[in-house]
Chains A and B, each alone.
Chain A
Amino acid sequence: MLLGLIRPSQGSIHLFGKDLKKEKLNILRKVGSLVEYPSNYGHLTAVQNLEAIRRILDVPKSRIDEVLDIVQLTKEAKRPVKGYSLGMKQRLGIASALLGSPELLILDEPTNGLDPAGIHEIRELIRSMPKQHGITVLVSSHLLSEVEQMAGTVGIIREGVMVFQDTIHNLQQQAAGGFQLKVSNPQEALQLIHAEGYSGELNKGALMLTKMSDQQIANVIKRLVDNHHDIYRVEENRKSLEDIFMQVIGQGGIL
């Protein structure tokens, strides 16, 4: 919808402060995109594929070599694309998205169907975009671990409504849950902790403590040791992005 492929049933879209309806061409000129799987003309070489797009974008021919260099396809550039691996096609797709020197790059499921090496390759490529070329990258993906490794800011959309948007750092802060302590005598230990003024509860014989600072946790442990409790384990209960995702989605009450 951001690219004008589908019309919004209501509302308007503004990119770069411009209305998509009125200035679609000006906006599209500044946006590079790779929608779903990469599409290309199999009987043509990478260079010819890019040339076909270059003619439409009307950018200098030198851009072709530049983008091929960015995605490291220069060596394979003269081969027909139908012989490419999926990873190479994906890189070619990113190359064509970069051809018009966009300010915004929209990638839909960029690592879909790739092998681990390919995923790593594409991920590194995407992460280098903002740093090396100053391009904002918008990635949509259902692979949460991928998002966790790539994104700076995440948004979660549920049934067409943005239910969450924040930086990944803040999200991980939220994700950092409490601590779990396994001790020799949980009951007494819990009383001790309550006496110290911390909140906690018992869960399957383990002490669950809410989030606290390093200093606080050190203090709790010191107190437990001083009172002759044996501490078997201290674990941090870090929620994965998936848990948070499920939590955010679940709040809609649909599940």
Chain B
Amino acid sequence: MSSMLRVLSAERLKMSRSYMVLLMFISPILAFIIGLLSEVGDTPQPWIALLGSLSMLHAMLFMPIMSGIFAAFICRYEHAGGGWKQLLVLPVTRTGVYVAKFTVIALLLAMMQLLFLAAIVILGFIKGIHDPFPWDIFARSIIGGWVACLPLAALQLAVSLMWNSFAAPLALNVMLTIPNMLVINSATYGPYYPWAQPFLATLPGESTIYGNDPFGAFNLPFESLMITVVGSFIVFFTAGWLYFRRKEV
């Protein structure tokens, strides 16, 4: 455990002068711009409508893709020039290194989510939404979306560790993310497709909020989404961890 914290502290230092941290601003800023241009006017629940319109891009595309980009970035320094060897000959356990790397990705995603939340709140003030801010719904969306990203981050970390390349894990990630647009509309496959979960978790129970007919996977209870998330997380995280422990560097 202490080994993991020491690696974590070293990881933080390695990021200090890289541009990687800036990447987490991209999606919130884009969401902000889209929000400025969109009309939320007279909907009965303006905050929810705002969340709905901004989530399209953020939760459907950026969250899964950023999970992959962070994972690839975090392994890039080690892949470049035998860094794994240098890191692993230090008195650290492989598990410690693996968990530390994953924690960094999780933290970056969490920060991105907070920025996204901040973007919505600021937009709300600019648009003059006077309704009380629905903290409970937003907390579920932001935290749920974050949790739903973790399995993807785990898989991406695993493949980033495996492949000595920066682009290959990203290509895989994008390939798996693009079908989202179709999958989320499917009640059959949507609930089981890990890459769709961040989006589905960000828009919980939309049908109940709007009272319209449920379609696709949108109406699924939050809990069942989380089963897919937890299940895929366990599979991806364990696979990556077992692989990394045995990896010959």
Contacts and interface: CB of A to CB of B under 8 A. Distances in A.
Interface of A: 3-7, 25-26, 28-29, 31, 33, 35-44, 48, 51-53, 55-58, 80, 93, 96, 100
Contacts of A57: 6, 90-91
Nearest to A27: B91
A251 B249 CA distance: 32
Nearest to A30: B91
Interface string B234-249: 0000000000001011
A152 to B, nearest CB: 24
Contacts of B13: 44, 48, 51-52, 55
- Taking each of B3, B7, B16, which has the highest tally of chain A beta carbons within 10 Å of its own beta carbon? B16
B82 A29 contact: no
B73 to A, nearest CB: 12
B224 interface: no
Interface in B77-130: 77-78, 80-83, 85-93
B10 interface: yes
A44 B81 contact: no
A56 B78 CA distance: 15
Contacts of B246: 7
B17 A28 contact: no
Contacts of B16: 44, 48
A53 B89 CA distance: 11
Nearest to B11: A52
Contacts of B249: 5-6
Q: Which 9 A-B pairs have the closest CB atoms?
A: A28-B91, A35-B85, A29-B91, A39-B83, A52-B10, A3-B89, A55-B10, A39-B81, A39-B82
A58 B89 contact: no
A176 B108 CA distance: 65
Contacts of A53: 10, 86, 90
27 contacts: A5-B85, A5-B88, A6-B248, A7-B246, A7-B248, A25-B3, A25-B92, A31-B89, A35-B85, A37-B81, A37-B82, A39-B81, A39-B83, A41-B83, A43-B18, A44-B16, A48-B16, A53-B86, A55-B6, A55-B10, A55-B13, A56-B10, A56-B87, A56-B91, A57-B91, A96-B86, A100-B90
Contacts of B78: 39
